[in-house]
Amino acid sequence: MNFIKFAENICEIKFTNQDLKILMNALNEVYETQAISNWEFPIRLNVEREKVREFSNLLLQLEMAGKEKEEVDVKFSSDDVRLLNNALNEICHGIRVLDFESKIGS
The helix (run of H) or strand (run of E) holding residue 6 is strand 2-7
Q: Would you give the DSSP letter of residue 93?
A: I
CB-based contact 46:82 (threshold 8 Å) = yes
> What pLDDT was estimated at residue 104?
64
Task: Give pLDDT, residue 48.
Answer: 94
> Contact 41/48 with Cβ under 8 angstroms?
yes
Domain that holds residue 77: 2-104
* pLDDT value, residue 67: 76
- Sites in the chain below the pLDDT cut of 70: 97-106
What Cα–Cα distance (Å) separates residue 99 from each residue in 2, 20, 26? 27, 19, 12
Compute the distance between CA of residue 51 and CA of residue 45 in angstroms, rounded to an integer. Answer: 10
Domain count for the chain: 1
Residue 80 has what pLDDT?
A: 92
